[in-house]
């Protein structure tokens, strides 16, 4: 999917919501256990319920790998079920030496047809370069994450600047805003504003709104740009809003509520 | 596998070789294409040929994920084929927020029964902590890698020390040398010696000998400790030593040659 197509979807749906499919067999409603593939049944119901309110789905690969070959198959079937006009993210945090990253790019961009994959930058520029060889596919590089451990390395000085700033400068120098996004947590709105000034045109994938304490209004205030520039992820607050037979109805209500807040912000900042 | 058991294997086989199963369909001998599962047939032949000369196999997950569900299945069957007295490494470079890392740990330590997994440290201490909750299972954290990109972040200052030194100090403060190893490239023997002083008791997984220019003798000189403390990885130089019907024979010869060099070094440093 191109950047222009993603922006069109945002304007069409009045939403910049990404729903995270962190599907955990121990948390899904018990009545689904009678299904042949409970995880897939859950994901399909969640997608049906939320697809009008989000512009992206993020599949957290760990939750599927935990079930081995069958889990990998469920990931593939879930991906295929997502409507083609919705931006898909493999939240896989991959990254390795070049010839290995080539294989990861094949895995997620060819064998599975994701629009994008999240990437871990530790090994440097050459380690992620292979992901930017695909037209209309995206790498989403970890910059400043929302967990406490972001203080251990990301926020430390790295030469003249902080490590996450060095990561942003390094990768924005090799990939344009049509192929590269950054992960920036919602829990640090001040830093998010400074990152926006650093890379005005790039999209940010933003976790940490809701349960982790980040505010949607603060993120929009500090992070929105002329093409929105934000995908706000919500996982557990939507997909586990309820664990009865009404789970999909409640998930829809939560997604709709977030999309309504987003529509108001898109209006406020004159994006729509 | 415990640290003591790993050291016993090193003393028994007079080797600290790790064979990397970076199995690429485009590089394996053509005659294997008539097999039902050419990757698995190749891996089994390589394991049969090299198992007496190595103490570890490293499965590079990217090469299996590139083939989707079938690749994941091949990874599982390969792992099951490896003799139980050989230390197994999932070279997967995983790492994410805590509840996601929990799922990765389940995937590689429970669903698949690897002894260890390689980990990417960017997101900090809490992101990798779940991997150290398993008795006799290991996390192998990226420290100083052998690729050119290690200059981009790893070798930069991170507060008072270099980033890779900060990573080593941070993780050695939460996990003992019976559960944690570090990835340290062979291409920087001087730094390897300094890292050995920093963490005298920890094992290092060392890529970069051979094709990338690192020397086995230099690595042993700077990195060996009283329990050897080294697993030297070789992938392509062994598994693709030949691509005719003699590939397994040639792989065996290459592994044997490396093991002989290792035996001499183990003698020289009085480990055996």
Q: For the residues B116-128, what does the mean pLDDT come to?
A: 98
Residue B216 has pLDDT above 80, yes or no: yes
Q: How confident is the model over B60-72, as pLDDT tens digits? A: 999 999 999 999 9
Q: pLDDT at position A178, please?
A: 98
Which B residues 174-193 touch A at CB under 8 Å? none
Query: Which residue in the set A101, A125, A154 is minimally distant from B122, CB to CB?
Result: A154
All residues of chain A having their beta carbon less than 8 Å from the beta carbon of residue B167 are 153
B141-166: burial string, b at 16+ Cβ within 10 Å, e else: bbbbbbbebbebbbbbbbeeebbbbb
Q: pLDDT at position A215, please?
A: 92
DSSP one-letter code for A225: B
Q: pLDDT at position A77, please?
A: 98
The pLDDT mean for chain B works out to 97
Number of Cβ within a 10 Å radius of residue B4: 10
ipTM of this predicted complex?
0.97
pTM of the model: 0.98
How far apart (Å, rounded) are the C-alpha atoms in residues A116 and A89? Answer: 5
How far apart (Å, rounded) are the C-alpha atoms in residues A204 and A192? Answer: 9
How far apart (Å, rounded) are the C-alpha atoms in residues A247 and A18? Answer: 18
Smallest CA–CA separation between A147 and chain B, in Å?
Answer: 7
All residues of chain B having their beta carbon less than 8 Å from the beta carbon of residue A67 are 107, 111
Q: pLDDT at position B146, please?
A: 92
Interface contact flag, A152 B101, Cβ < 8 Å: no
Q: pLDDT at position A158, please?
A: 84
Phi, psi of A248, deg, nearest 5: -70, -40
All residues of chain A having their beta carbon less than 8 Å from the beta carbon of residue B147 are 97-98, 123-124, 126-127
Interface contact flag, A65 B150, Cβ < 8 Å: no
Q: Do A161 and A169 meet the contact criterion of CB atoms below 8 Å apart?
A: yes
User: pLDDT of chain A along its 272 residues, tens only?
Assistant: 999 999 999 999 999 999 999 999 999 999 999 999 999 999 999 999 999 999 999 999 999 999 999 999 999 999 999 999 999 999 999 999 999 999 999 999 999 999 999 999 999 999 999 999 999 999 999 999 999 999 999 999 888 899 999 999 999 999 999 999 999 999 999 999 999 999 999 999 999 897 777 899 999 999 999 999 999 999 999 999 999 999 999 999 999 999 999 999 999 999 99
How far apart (Å, rounded) are the C-alpha atoms in residues B257 and B246? Answer: 17
All residues of chain A having their beta carbon less than 8 Å from the beta carbon of residue B124 are 147-154
B135 touches chain A (CB under 8 A): no
Strands in B161-162's sheet, in edge-to-edge order, are A161-162, A157-158, B157-158, B161-162
How far apart (Å, rounded) are the C-alpha atoms in residues B136 and B263? Answer: 26
Residue B209 has pLDDT above 80, yes or no: yes
Q: pLDDT at position A164, please?
A: 98
Q: pLDDT at position B93, please?
A: 98
Which residues are bridge partners to A184 per DSSP?
A144
All residues of chain B having their beta carbon less than 8 Å from the beta carbon of residue A123 are 120, 142, 145, 147, 149-150, 154
Interface contact flag, A103 B145, Cβ < 8 Å: no
Q: pLDDT at position B202, please?
A: 98
Residue B210 has pLDDT above 80, yes or no: no
- Residue B159: band (very low, low, confident or very high) from pLDDT cuts 50, 70, 90: confident
Q: pLDDT at position B214, please?
A: 85
How far apart (Å, rounded) are the C-alpha atoms in residues A68 and B60? Answer: 16
Number of Cβ within a 10 Å radius of residue A25: 14
Q: Please tell me whether residue A170 adopts helix, strand or coil conformation.
A: helix
Determine whether B93 is an active site residue: yes
Assigned CATH class of B3-268: alpha beta
User: In this structure, what token pair is assigned to residue A271?
Assistant: 């994006």
Query: Which residue in the set B62, B126, B167 is minimally distant from A100, CB to CB?
Result: B62
Interface contact flag, B121 A60, Cβ < 8 Å: no
Residue B212 has pLDDT above 90, yes or no: no
Residue ranges covered by each domain of chain B: 3-268
Interface contact flag, B167 A153, Cβ < 8 Å: yes
Q: Do A138 and A179 meet the contact criterion of CB atoms below 8 Å apart?
A: yes
């Amino acid at each position: 999917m191109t950047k222009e197509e993603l922006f069109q979807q945002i304007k069409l749906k009045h939403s910049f919501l990404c729903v995270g499919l962190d599907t955990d067999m121990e948390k899904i409603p018990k009545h689904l256990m009678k299904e042949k593939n409970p995880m897939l049944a859950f994901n399909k119901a969640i997608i049906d319920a939320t697809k009008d309110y989000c512009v992206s789905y993020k599949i957290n690969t760990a939750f599927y790998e935990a079930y081995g070959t069958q889990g990998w198959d469920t990931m593939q079937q879930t991906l295929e079920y997502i409507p083609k006009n919705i931006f898909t993210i493999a939240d896989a945090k991959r990254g390795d030496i070049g010839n290995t990253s080539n294989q990861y790019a094949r895995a997620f961009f060819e064998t599975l047809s994701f629009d994008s994959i999240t990437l871990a930058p530790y090994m440097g520029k050459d380690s992620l370069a292979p992901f930017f060889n695909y037209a209309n596919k995206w790498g989403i590089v970890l910059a400043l994450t929302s967990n406490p451990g972001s203080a251990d390395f990301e926020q430390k000085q790295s030469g003249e600047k902080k490590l996450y700033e060095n990561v942003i400068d390094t990768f924005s120098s090799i990939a344009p805003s049509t192929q590269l996004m950054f992960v920036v947590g919602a829990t640090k709105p001040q830093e998010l504003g400074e990152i926006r000034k650093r890379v005005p045109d790039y999209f940010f994938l933003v976790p940490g709104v809701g349960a982790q304490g980040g505010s949607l209004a603060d993120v929009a205030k500090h992070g929105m740009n002329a093409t929105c520039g934000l995908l706000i992820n919500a996982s557990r607050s939507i997909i586990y809003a309820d664990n009865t037979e009404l789970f999909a109805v409640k998930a829809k209500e939560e997604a709709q509520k977030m999309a309504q807040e987003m529509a108001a912000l898109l209006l406020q900042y004159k994006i729509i």
